[in-house]
Amino acid sequence: MTDHSKSARPGKRPGQKPYYKKGGGKPTPRRPGMPPEGPVLLYGLHTVEAAFANNDRKRLKLFATENAQNRLTERGVNIDVPVEITMPRALDRMVTRDAVHQGMILQADPLPAYGAEHLKGARLVLALDQVTDPHNVGAILRSAVALNADAVVTTERHAPEEGPVLAKSASGALDMIKHVRVKNMARFVAEMKEKGFGCIALDSDGPASLEETAFTDKTVLVLGSEGKGVRHGVREACGLLARLDMPGEIRSLNVSNAAVLSLYVARMKMGL
């Protein structure tokens, strides 16, 4: 955030004390690894609309043009927070230069810290081992919602924090699926195996294609960063490796595209 106007200056700047709710002495719930600068700013129609529909999202204030507020109302959004009618240029100053806010910015607390205990009843989980680009993770969240996965899991470190870029890239999906963050991915995989999940790591050197791999009725798919792939310790914890075979001249996919294809194959194999 840069050059906030005095009439629209949500949150705190780095180095300031953590944000506290008015009238209370306890800090707002934080996702693991979240810096304590305060609320996040969510912008764009689909992102803001999904945040209003998410009961787990603590919403604080909406900054919007009159047209944008009317657009949300026309779409059936229950705007349950104070609204500050804000000129487009003032909204521009609240976000980065290339941000497409569509006339609306929602000030909200980060989502609660979801953990593995929130995966009860899950059947298809996608885990990302140190995928750091928020645009990729946002796109993966969106695809996971589209393909009806139950959760996306990332590590607390070496993964994007919840924030406007991740939320905008997810186009609302951040508020539509559990985004679980764990301290140790190998340990998480081991815990899920104890709960009856089959855990498959995607690896270009896998002994069989994903289509040829046997699936159980509960599955964790693990994808790694485009450079390093799934780390050795996480692959060892999974115990099962599979590859994505590409018939064309380009044999590898961007991680977000690999996630889409992997989820699609998994659904077909699992009969979901």
The string of pLDDT tens digits covering residues 215-245 is 999 999 999 987 889 999 999 999 999 999 9
What is the predicted pLDDT for the residue at 37? 55
- Within this chain, do residues 170 and 81 fall inside the same structural domain, yes or no? no
Residue 121 lies in a domain: yes
Residue 10 lies in a domain: no
Exposure letters 39-75 (e unless 16+ CB within 10 A, then b) = bbbbbbbbbbbbbbebeebbbbbbbbbeebbebbeee
Tell me, rounded to whole angstroms, the distance of Cα 16 from its chain centroid: 26
* Sheet strand arrangement including 83-85: 40-43, 104-108, 59-64, 83-85
Residues 80-122: pLDDT tens digits?
999 999 999 999 999 988 899 999 999 999 998 888 899 999 9
- Number of folded domains that form the chain: 2
Domain end marker among 108, 131, 157: 108
- Within this chain, do residues 94 and 57 fall inside the same structural domain, yes or no? yes
Sign of the CA dihedral running 16, 17, 23, 28: positive
Q: Which amino acid is at 10?
A: P
- Give the domain range for residue 55: 40-108
Q: Is the pLDDT of residue 32 over 80?
A: no
DSSP structural state of residue 48: H
Residue 239 lies in a domain: yes
Domain end marker among 73, 108, 143: 108
Q: Is the pLDDT of residue 15 over 80?
A: no
Q: Is the pLDDT of residue 17 over 50?
A: no
Q: Is the pLDDT of residue 176 over 80?
A: yes
Give residues with Cβ within 8 angstroms of 3, minimum separation 6: 93
Helical axes 255-270 vs 134-146, angle rounded to 10°: 20
- Within this chain, do residues 144 and 186 fall inside the same structural domain, yes or no? yes
Nearest CA to 241 out of 206, 267, 217 is that of 206
Task: State percent of the chain over pLDDT 70.
Answer: 86
Residues 52-77: pLDDT tens digits?
999 999 999 999 999 999 999 999 99
| No. of helices (H) and no. of strands (E), the chain | 8, 10
What is the CATH classification number for the domain harbouring 207?
3.40.1280.10
Whole-model pTM over 0.85: no
